[in-house]
Structures are given as C-alpha cells and as structure tokens.
A = this chain, B = another copy of it.
Amino acid sequence: MNTPTPTPSPATGAQAISRFPVPDLNDVPEDIRTRILEVQAKTGFVPNVFLALAHRPAEWRAFVAYHDALMLKSGGNLSKGDREMIVVATSAANQCLYCVVAHGAILRIYEKKPLVADQVATNYRKADIPPRQRAMLDFAMKVSQRAQEVDDSDFARLREHGFDDEDAWDIAAITAFFGLSNRIANVIAMRPNDEFYLMGRLPRKG
C-alpha cells in the first residue's frame, strides 16, 4: 500500500534533521505512520521529532505515550498554554533548539501571544506573564536544574498561586519529560522544521 509522502519542509533543503538515520515514512510501523499522518493532516507538515525518533520504534511509542499522558491530559489547573510555557522555559535552560523552536510556536498559538515564547526562552523573569505563571516557571526551573533541593516550601509557594499538589506533579513531570527530550535532541542534533520559527507570530495565519 502506498502512503502519501509528507510534504517536505521546503526551506530545510538538504539539512539533516538528525545525526542518525531517519526512516522513510513508508517504512515505519503502521501505528507510527497512522499517528504521523494524523499530525501532518492537522499541522500541515510532519514535525521532525516524529520522524527522527521513529528510528527507534519502541522508544517512539513510549515517548509519544508519555507526551500524550502529560500534554493532552484533561483535568487539573494547567492550561495547554501553561504546559507549553513550561516546555519552552526549561528547554531554553537546557539549550535545546528543537524544543524551544517547536514548542515556542505552539506556545504562541495557545496563549495567543506572539511575543511570549521569545520572552520566556530568553529570561522568563521578564516575560509578560502573571504572577501565577511566574510561580509555575520558578518551580519548573528548580525541577529542571536542581530537583534534589525541592521540598515542602516549593509546594506551599505553588499553593499560594492556586496550584495543588497534582498540579505540582504535572509541572514536574512535564519538566522531567522534556528534560529527557532536550537531552536526546541535543545528542542526535535534532533539527526543528523551518515552519515552526514563524508560526504564531503573525496576527492570523492564512
């Protein structure tokens, strides 16, 4: 059976999207291909992470399942924009190009704030965000950079801003999961699709 080739990211040219072999979409297992085609249909292109990680199907499945459990989760006090903001701030601290660029795009779209991703990535303390998101990012950055020091006082501070303990778990787990993603992306030199850089920056996308 023939699968339609995903539209290649035109500006990328011959730039490799990974230091490792990247499978052709026709060669990936059926379940992975199905999900990739769904993403392509929704986004208009295939984010490189889906192809780069498909080099390892078992890891791909666990990665995507983990991602979905954390980022598509319903319930709790974290909005989708909150979740993406955590990703951008902590990925910037880990200097992960893929995650800052790709999730920066999603953050702009969810928050409907074209400037917020660059602000959060550069110095989240100067971003146009309310104290609640500032407290959320303070906790995420502590989990990212020195989780061994987290203690009761961190949970107490989150509660002052309306985050309960389950929200704290969410913040920590998102931070931890993207810490994993950041490290793998840096090691395999995963390249963000060129499309992400501009997404969500213009008033409306035509």
Contact = CB atoms under 8 A, between A and B. Distances in A.
Interface of A: 11, 15, 19-20, 56, 58-59, 61-63, 65-66, 68-70, 73, 92, 94-97, 100-101, 104, 114-115, 118-119, 121-123, 125-126, 128, 143-144, 147-151, 155, 165, 168-169, 172-173, 175-177, 179-184, 186-189, 191, 194, 197-198, 201-202
5 contacts: A92-B122, A96-B148, A126-B186, A147-B186, A169-B188
A41 to B, nearest CB: 24
B197 A114 contact: yes
Specify the main secondary structure of chain A where it touches its partner: helix
B119 A97 contact: yes
A136 to B, nearest CB: 14
A97 B95 CA distance: 16
A105 to B, nearest CB: 11
Contact of A180 (B94, B96, B177): B177
Nearest to A70: B59
A172 to B, nearest CB: 4
A95 B93 CA distance: 10
B97 A122 contact: yes
Among A56, A149, A168, A180, residue most surrounded by chain B Cβ atoms (within 10 Å): A180
Contacts of A149: 125
